[in-house]
Amino acid sequence: EDKVVQSPLSLVVHEGDTVTLNCSYEVTNFRSLLWYKQEKKAPTFLFMLTSSGIEKKSGRLSSILDKKELSSILNITATQTGDSAIYLCAVPSGNTPLVFGKGTRLSVIA
């Protein structure tokens, strides 16, 4: 059974800190790994990593895929209170939609 494991499950940091969120996966036929941010409502798409695109960056957020270690990290530098959210990692599994990890709840305090 394909699965995704995220760590830590929750994290509290101060504004300005740098954080690293982890995602490991077990999937039969790897195609991609996706990161989402969820604030109060629906998850919003951040990054999609594939074998041909193992690094993505957008502003203070960046993500790297390590296919050898079957894992990915999401880095957030100079955190702000607006970064407080649940961060979700997911992989496609066969013909089904995405399989999600349980998420990391990030709290950034002023």
Partner 1 sequence: NAGVTQTPKFQVLKTGQSMTLQCAQDMNHEYMSWYRQDPGMGLRLIHYSVGAGITDQGEVPNGYNVSRSTTEDFPLRLLSAAPSQTSVYFCASSLGSNSPLHFGNGTRLTVT
Sites of contact with partner 1 (CB under 8 A) = 9, 31-32, 34, 41-45, 48, 88, 90, 92, 94-103
Q: Are 9 and 104 in contact (CB under 8 A)?
A: yes
> For residue 49, what are the CA distances in angstroms to 16, 73, 82, 86?
26, 11, 24, 19
Select 57 or 78, whichever has its Cβ closest to partner 1.
57
Tell me how far, at minimum, the Cβ of 14 lies from partner 1, in Å: 24
Report angle CA 89, 91, 94 to the nearest 5 degrees. Answer: 160
Nearest distance from C-beta of residue 43 to partner 1, angstroms: 5
Indicate the residue among 17 and 30 with the shorter CB distance to partner 1. Answer: 30
Nearest distance, CB of residue 90 and partner 1, angstroms: 8
Query: Please, which residue, 32 or 84, has the CB nearer to partner 1?
Result: 32
Instruction: Please state, in angstroms and rounded to a whole number, the distance separating the CA atoms of residues 70 and 84.
Output: 26
| CA separation for the pair 100, 105 (Å, rounded) | 14
The nearest distance, CB 91 to partner 1, in angstroms, is 10
